[in-house]
Amino acid sequence: MVLTTDKKSISIHNTEAVSIAEIPVLAYADFKAQILTWLHFEKCHCVAYFAYPFAGGLKFIAAIADDSNAQIYLLSHEQEGQIIELEALSATAMPMHIYEREIAENYGVVFNNHPWPKPVRFAFNRFNQEMQVNDYPFYKIESDQLHEVGVGPIHAGVIEPGHFRFLCNGETVLHLEIQLGWQHRGVEQLYLDKKTMLQRAILSENIAGDTAVGHTMAYALVSESLTGAHTQNTMLDIERTIALEWERIAMCIFDLSNLNIGIAYQLANSVFGALRTPVINFFQSWCGNRFGKSLIRPGGTHYPLTDELVAKLVAIMDDFETRFDAMAEKTFHLPSVLNRFDGIGKVTKKQMTLIGAVGQAAKAAGLIRDTRYTHPIMAYETLKVLPEMQNGGDVLARFTMRRLEIKQSIAMIRHLLDMRQYVDQESGAPLKQSESSMKPNTFSLALVEGWRGEICHCAITDENGNLQHYKVKDPSFHNWLALALSLRNLEISDFPINNKSYNLSYCGFDL
Amino acid sequence: MIIEEINILRQHGWQYIPDPQKAEVPAPFRGRPEIQVGMSLDTQNALVDLCPVEAIGMNPLSIDLGKCYFCGECAMAYPQAIRFTNDHRLASNVRQRLIVAEGDTRGIELDPDKIRKEITAMFGRSLKLRQISAAGENSHEAELNACGNVNFDMGRYGIEFVASPRHADGIVITGPISQNMAEATEICYEAVPDPKIVVLVGSDAISGGIFAGSGALNRSFLNKVSIDLYVPGNPPHPLTFINGILALSRSRS
């Protein structure tokens, strides 16, 4: 922890805990000026901005990640009274729009000149209980020539619910608005209600089942940071990094399969679908669950990666890679596939920067947002990942990203298995409940690069070391807007492949 | 070149599981638990305290699979008391049968007398299902999708997920049912023509799981309908679902 020279913020690194008292409290005008200065640079983006009840009013904490030096700047402001009215940051800094919407929804804070003041997820403990999930204020254009298409919340496939409202001119989509919140389960409140570390780890596994490893890793890192239990354990770091990359492979191969069914290329759909089976079955061999649930726990793991498992993993990867390469080579050279994806649903790097997009979708449009590279922890510090990138920003770019990341993750895992041979250490058992007492009045934050992108968990403890506030952010929190932008001026029939090319999380957003 | 495609097909060979009704899932898969008789009161209390989803009960010592997440923490802490077998057949049409008490080593089965006659008569050869994710966390949905993939190929039994409730013979609910999905769930159910079945997939749907008691849920729909099948798990393995559905729709008394 370092106080920056102008004393307007402190800087921490990923997973570092800091006393709440040390985070500078600024007047709102100074806070705003500081945030706007940082966000002017592409290297900086906001990873968390939230409010929580404090001394009869609200305390607002912001965390700005500087990708050039792996620092995260923390600063705060406090507001008194029941009715709080502020000049919106997003009036000039667009990426802040979703954070301010969330704060407005939860606490009734009014952000003046907010460009898009809409509900976020209709949380059960929201400020305005009058506003129901069916009352979402959709953007409208009055015209005799236009029509609207509403889809959902329940969709045709076996997928999660969300509502999509298309404003169309004939077949062309002028505007798509995505309304979420159907999946809201009160996750953040449950972190406070559940009292044991195990319950919170289990809760983390069920934020988004397709990112069980990613979210539980973020929770584990935050817990270790708050308990002070995080000692250097190279073996644990290696095993956790392998788990995270394995989850990335499992989901990227799923997406490749799914995108191919979107264009009726049956062979690739079946082959990539079949290739996913050995991947998720390895998770089952490792920890008994095909999604890696129960593998990640604060402090250690119940399931060390044994030599026997390593041999199995290597055999699976060898076989997987041969079969994957043959199918990928075919698919990525098939004109009918390329023609269907190329130039469809394009978003620019500038758009992605403006909306604060992260992860795979951002990288597909040429924007480097990959915390494995910019804020490395665990084995990523040694691996020095250079993110795979594309510039197209279209469905093809996002499709290609899956292939590149699968190859990169396999290479990384091979490297990690090599490193593992020279580590004379055991990954160790998880923390017991009796070892779970957390430092009082402390803030901690963890950035984990899940397969979709940046996952951010923040926790704050009270004077007794109990959780006072817990904040979860899935990459989908930012990226849903990118899907909406992709659809502009596109034929409505191109929605499914665009949606599949992002494959965003509903429950990760709705919490 | 067609040669490349032939090569790809040859690399993959036959992918399907020849008989999903006989297939087993190897350990460390955690299926039906077995509980030792005669555990001390201290051990029993410790187990009740340990379970993150309040699935463990006392008098007799038992695990409610309708709540259990199969995390295996209890068996790791007290291996002398609890052991998870790899028996993936966990589904039943009777809620009470999901509770495994100490000393129970029998498999979990459906009660054939409680299966409505029209289910076997109408759906014995073809069963189309509408899935509703009511705050499901997507691993359950992924496993239901996997039921239809080239490995499990549930379609061979005439069992499929369909897009419209109008084309469906029943609904399959995943997730603990949020307030925000309560109305949509009910509308979807109403849209399915009679006779229809209701299947709850996953411990979240059956009991609320880790989300039980959250103010964001509204599970009142479940009081209005009769449940035809409970499929425990977090998420249930595709074989658990397929065998449960087959036992429900194919049993002939």
In this complex, is the C-beta atom of B122 within 8 Å of any C-beta atom belonging to chain A? no
Res A138 pLDDT > 80:
yes
Between A433 and A48, the higher pLDDT residue: A48
Same domain, B59 and B136: no
pLDDT for position A2: 67
Chain A residues in contact with B132 by the CB 8 A cut-off are: 154
Residue-wise pLDDT tens digits, B197-232: 999 999 999 999 999 999 999 999 999 999 999 999
Question: B253 pLDDT band (50/70/90 cuts)?
Answer: very low
**B15 in a structural domain:** no
- Of A469, A506, A480, the closest CA to residue A107 belongs to A469
Which residues 472-511 of A are in CB contact (within 8 Å) with B?
505-507, 510
Same domain, A105 and A198: no
**A348 in a structural domain:** yes
User: Number of structural domains, chain B?
Assistant: 2
B146: Cβ contacts below 8 Å, ≥ 6 apart: A277, B152, B238
Chain-chain contact of B175 with A322 (C-beta, under 8 angstroms): no
Answer yes or no: are the C-beta atoms of A506 and A182 closer than 8 Å.
yes
pLDDT for position B251: 66
**A174 in a structural domain:** no
Q: What is the mean pLDDT of residues A176-186?
A: 96
Residue-wise pLDDT tens digits, A95-115: 999 999 999 999 999 999 999
In this complex, is the C-beta atom of B234 within 8 Å of any C-beta atom belonging to chain A? yes
Chain-chain contact of A507 with B53 (C-beta, under 8 angstroms): no
Same domain, B129 and B232: yes
**B24 in a structural domain:** no
- According to DSSP, the residues that pair with A460 across neighbouring strands are A443, A469
Residue-wise pLDDT tens digits, A384-429: 889 999 999 999 999 999 999 999 999 999 999 999 999 988 889 9
Same domain, A376 and A457: yes
Chain-chain contact of A190 with B175 (C-beta, under 8 angstroms): no
Q: Which of A193-202, B2-11, B75-84, B89-98 has the lowest mean pLDDT?
A: B2-11
- How close is the nearest chain B Cα to the Cα of A212, in Å? 9
Q: What is the mean pLDDT of residues B225-242?
A: 96
CATH code: domain of residue B64: 3.30.70.20
Same domain, A116 and A235: no
CATH code: domain of residue A237: 1.10.645.10
Select the residue of B26, B133, B210 nearest A161 (Cβ to Cβ).
B133
**B105 in a structural domain:** no
Same domain, B217 and B139: yes
CA A135, CA A153: separation in Å to the nearest integer?
A: 13
Same domain, A78 and A205: no
Same domain, A202 and A112: no
CA A72, CA B175: separation in Å to the nearest integer?
A: 36
Res A269 pLDDT > 90:
yes
Answer yes or no: are the C-beta atoms of A482 and A347 closer than 8 Å.
yes
Same domain, B127 and B233: yes
**B104 in a structural domain:** no
Among A90, A120, A150, identify where a domain stops. A120
Same domain, A283 and A406: yes
Q: Order of strands across the sheet with B170-174? A: B159-161, B127-133, B170-174, B197-201, B229-231
**Domain range for B52:** 33-88
Res B101 pLDDT > 70:
yes
pLDDT for position A83: 87
**A500 in a structural domain:** yes
The ipTM of this complex is: 0.95
Select the residue of A181, A185, A254 nearest B214 (Cβ to Cβ).
A185
Between B77 and B150, the higher pLDDT residue: B77
Chain-chain contact of B214 with A285 (C-beta, under 8 angstroms): no
pLDDT for position A76: 95
Q: Which of B51, B181, B190, B207 is best to mutate for the A interface (most A CBs within 10 A)?
A: B181
pLDDT for position A385: 87
**A476 in a structural domain:** yes
Same domain, B200 and B245: yes
pLDDT for position B12: 87
Task: Put residue A290 in one of left, alpha, beta given phi > 0 → left and psi -120 to 50 → alpha.
Answer: alpha
Select the residue of A156, A274, A288 nearest B72 (Cβ to Cβ).
A288
Same domain, A195 and A77: no
Same domain, B244 and B119: yes
Same domain, A85 and A202: no
Which residues 179-198 of B are in CB contact (within 8 Å) with A?
179-181, 183-184, 188
Same domain, A260 and A338: yes
3-class secondary structure, A476:
helix
Same domain, B227 and B133: yes
A155: Cβ contacts below 8 Å, ≥ 6 apart: A161, A162
Mark A18-28 as b/e (b = at least 16 C-beta within 10 Å): bebeebbebee
- Of A233, A223, A210, A378, the closest CA to residue A283 belongs to A210
- Of A494, A327, A482, A347, the closest CA to residue A403 belongs to A327
Same domain, B242 and B117: yes
Average pLDDT, chain B: 93
3-class secondary structure, A206:
coil
Chain B residues in contact with A312 by the CB 8 A cut-off are: none
Here the tokens at position A64 are 């700005």
Task: Put residue B153 in one of left, alpha, beta given phi > 0 → left and psi -120 to 50 → alpha.
Answer: left
Q: What is the mean pLDDT of residues A160-183?
A: 95
Same domain, A103 and A191: no
- How close is the nearest chain A Cα to the Cα of B178, in Å? 6
Residue-wise pLDDT tens digits, B109-145: 999 899 988 888 888 889 999 999 999 999 999 999 9
Res B54 pLDDT > 50:
yes
**A254 in a structural domain:** yes
User: Number of structural domains, chain A?
Assistant: 2
pLDDT for position A310: 97
**A466 in a structural domain:** yes
A194: Cβ contacts below 8 Å, ≥ 6 apart: A200, A203, B52, B210
Q: How far is CA B6 from the centre of its chain?
A: 38
Average pLDDT, chain A: 94
CA B156, CA B168: separation in Å to the nearest integer?
A: 17
In this complex, is the C-beta atom of A146 within 8 Å of any C-beta atom belonging to chain B? no
In this complex, is the C-beta atom of A335 within 8 Å of any C-beta atom belonging to chain B? no
Same domain, B125 and B230: yes
Same domain, B78 and B119: no
**Domain range for A382:** 187-510
Select the residue of B7, B11, B184 nearest A154 (Cβ to Cβ).
B184
Residue-wise pLDDT tens digits, A34-53: 999 999 998 999 999 999 99
Residue-wise pLDDT tens digits, A281-325: 999 999 999 999 999 999 999 999 999 999 999 999 999 999 999
Chain-chain contact of B215 with A189 (C-beta, under 8 angstroms): yes
Residue-wise pLDDT tens digits, A13-35: 999 999 999 999 999 999 999 99
pLDDT for position A384: 86
**A155 in a structural domain:** no
Chain-chain contact of B176 with A210 (C-beta, under 8 angstroms): no
Same domain, B130 and B242: yes
Chain-chain contact of A122 with B180 (C-beta, under 8 angstroms): yes
Res A5 pLDDT > 80:
no
Residue-wise pLDDT tens digits, B167-202: 999 999 999 999 999 999 999 999 999 999 999 999
Res A3 pLDDT > 70:
no
**A207 in a structural domain:** yes
Among A105, A120, A135, identify where a domain stops. A120
Among A79, A101, A120, identify where a domain stops. A120
**B25 in a structural domain:** no
Same domain, B123 and B227: yes
CATH code: domain of residue B220: 3.40.50.12280
**B197 in a structural domain:** yes
Question: What does DSSP assign to residue A332?
Answer: T
In this complex, is the C-beta atom of A157 within 8 Å of any C-beta atom belonging to chain B? yes
**B20 in a structural domain:** no
Same domain, A477 and A371: yes
Answer yes or no: are the C-beta atoms of B165 and B192 closer than 8 Å.
yes
CATH code: domain of residue A29: 3.30.460.80
Question: A1 pLDDT band (50/70/90 cuts)?
Answer: low
Chain A residues in contact with B164 by the CB 8 A cut-off are: 156
Chain-chain contact of B135 with A290 (C-beta, under 8 angstroms): no
**B103 in a structural domain:** no
Here the tokens at position B37 are 């008789």
In this complex, is the C-beta atom of B153 within 8 Å of any C-beta atom belonging to chain A? no
Chain A residues in contact with B221 by the CB 8 A cut-off are: none
